[in-house]
């Protein structure tokens, strides 16, 4: 091809190359275009999903916290030991039992013998209420000691000097069983010689203990309390929680008490709230003492007569 022909071809292509837009022009044209719009309905759906997830997470967290702290609705433990049996002139020995897997005793208590020379006679296993510590039960321990009974008074886990972070129904039930085992296998006291005394929420523990050990001759239930499911539902702290799914500190009492064949003495006081109607129906009217206060002399008299009826070896004292 001649030199003239090549120049002619370049001159023919030149206008096309000159008309091709530059990169700068392309970028300027892109920048002048309006940005793509997001569908508002998608934004609303995304916000709604985030809000729903936040509500669900908050509710699950609230339920978890409630499940962990629900024991505080019915139990009010104290770590303080404000008095000992010596405060009432009683001789006693501090005892430790219910060893953990590590070999460390979990429960702390007092053994108050009726007769230091013979500690294998009739005995009371005391299960104190869900408030305070075993120090608060000392006045009734004196009452039972005056009936010539050995007394074992102890703190559940989470109370007094016993181990544990806080009490719950299941650990308290296990602790009451451990105390009975301590009396049977360590103190060598036969179950037919053991009367169980229980106050407040501990009445539910005593009823279950007697149901699993029918050889126990009698129960003394002092201002018994339990069946907390309904009260939990009406508690202001439970308004946002489906308690039927999460509340398990029920301490069932009326129904088990109604079917329990073990003789039981019910102590109630006019100065305090009366037991629920279901519990009153489950109790034997002949074995119920209603007095003005726990210090009423009729309490000692009623306990004395009750023990005479149902404690076989009581005549040896």
CB-CB contact of 299 with 291 (8 Å)? yes
pLDDT of residue 316: 45
Q: In the predicted model, is pLDDT for residue 56 greater than 90?
A: no
DSSP 3-state assignment of 291?
strand
256 lies in some domain: yes
Dist CA 248 CA 281 (whole Å): 24
292 lies in some domain: yes
42 lies in some domain: no
The whole-number average pLDDT for the span 254-270 is 90
Retrieve residue 300's tokens. 């000692």
Retrieve residue 105's tokens. 């005793």
CATH number at residue 255: 3.40.50.1820
25 lies in some domain: no
CB-CB contact of 206 with 219 (8 Å)? yes
pLDDT digits (tens, 9 = 90+) for 194-232: 999 999 999 999 999 999 999 999 999 999 999 888 877
17 lies in some domain: no
The whole-number average pLDDT for the span 109-136 is 92
pLDDT of residue 299: 94
pLDDT band at 302 (very low <50, low <70, confident <90, very high): very high
194 lies in some domain: yes
5 lies in some domain: no
Helix (H) or strand (E) holding 125: strand 123-127
What domain count does the chain have? Answer: 1
CB-CB contact of 311 with 218 (8 Å)? yes
Which residues of 147-287 form beta strands (DSSP E)?
150-155, 194-199, 218-222, 264-269
Give the structural domain span for 220: 73-316
Dist CA 9 CA 230 (whole Å): 100
pTM, full prediction:
0.80
Retrieve residue 279's tokens. 């519990």
63 lies in some domain: no
Query: Which residues on adjacent β-strands are paired with residue 197?
Result: 126, 220
């Amino acid at each position: 091809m001649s030199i003239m022909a090549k120049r002619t071809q370049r001159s023919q292509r030149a206008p096309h190359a000159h008309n091709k837009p530059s990169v700068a022009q392309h970028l300027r044209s892109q920048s002048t275009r309006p940005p793509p719009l997001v569908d508002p309905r998608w934004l609303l759906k995304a916000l709604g999903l985030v809000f729903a997830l936040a509500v669900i997470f908050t509710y699950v967290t609230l339920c978890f916290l409630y499940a962990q702290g629900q024991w505080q609705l019915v139990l009010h433990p104290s770590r303080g030991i404000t008095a000992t049996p010596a405060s009432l002139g009683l001789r006693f020995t501090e005892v430790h039992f219910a060893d953990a897997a590590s070999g460390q005793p979990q429960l702390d208590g007092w053994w108050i013998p009726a007769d230091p020379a013979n500690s294998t006679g009739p005995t009371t296993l005391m299960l104190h209420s869900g408030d305070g510590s075993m120090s608060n039960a000392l006045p009734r321990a004196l009452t039972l000691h005056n009936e010539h009974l050995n007394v074992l008074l102890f703190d559940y886990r989470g109370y007094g000097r016993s181990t544990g972070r806080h009490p719950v129904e299941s650990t308290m039930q296990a602790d009451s069983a451990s105390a009975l085992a301590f009396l049977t296998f360590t103190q060598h006291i036969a179950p037919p010689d053991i009367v169980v005394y229980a106050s407040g929420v501990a009445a539910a523990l005593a009823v279950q203990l007697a149901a699993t050990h029918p050889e126990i001759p009698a129960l003394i239930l002092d201002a018994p309390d339990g069946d907390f499911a309904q009260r939990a539902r009406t508690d202001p702290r439970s308004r946002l929680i489906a308690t039927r799914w999460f509340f398990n500190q029920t301490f069932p009492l009326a129904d088990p008490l109604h079917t329990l064949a073990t003789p039981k003495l019910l102590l109630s006081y006019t100065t305090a709230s009366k037991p629920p109607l279901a519990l009153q129906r489950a109790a034997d009217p002949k074995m119920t003492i209603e007095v003005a206060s726990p210090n009423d002399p009729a309490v000692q008299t009623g306990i004395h007569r009750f023990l005479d009826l149902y404690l076989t070896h009581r005549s040896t004292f």
